Amino acid sequence: MREPVRDRPAHTYRVLVRELSAFGVVGATCFALDVALFQLLYVQFGVGAVTAKLVATLTSMAAAFVGHRYWSFAHRARTGVRRESLRFAAVNVLTLGLGLTVVAVVRYPLGQESVAVLQAANVASIGLGTVLRFLAYRVWVFPRRPISSDAGDPSVTAGAPFPSSTEARPQTT
């Protein structure tokens, strides 16, 4: 049985808060991993700034996929690991490109070599990428409902949960 229409905004709000909270925990963990690995590679091992950013981001991206798929967005449709991982990678490649561009511009055209300045550029690119990733994950990577079965179903609305397999689905003719 579906919840009454009047209860949907409260449910939508609870789902959004839960997603944002889990996204934040996974994101904070991956942020710490990214920043620490960037610092370790650039300062301790002398790896170039852009290469350090690339390795740090790829490592945190892999950890983020696991965290988001199995926790942040675990209640959403399962559309297949291959599909989700490819879309997740596409979103993250775009945001990685953004991060690399920011660090590269600060390092080379602007001539900054200071660890603090490069780390600030790194953190700024992570912040912007985080907003873009959350929106893309919710809409494109981990969709709210199955792609094909509910596309024309007017009973499924934005913010409404998936009907469980035990709930009766309306018959469409």
pLDDT tier for residue 58 given thresholds of 50, 70 and 90:
confident
> pTM for the whole thing?
0.64
Stretch among 86-95, 123-132, 141-150 having the lowest mean pLDDT = 141-150
The residue among 30, 20, 25 whose CA lies nearest residue 58 is 30
How many Cα atoms sit within 13 Å of 107 on the Cβ side?
Answer: 17
Question: What is the token pair recorded at 41?
Answer: 């590679």
149 or 65, which is more confident: 65
Quote the pLDDT of residue 158: 38
Check residue 151 and give its pLDDT: 45
pLDDT at position 173 is: 39
Every domain of the chain and the residues it spans: 8-141
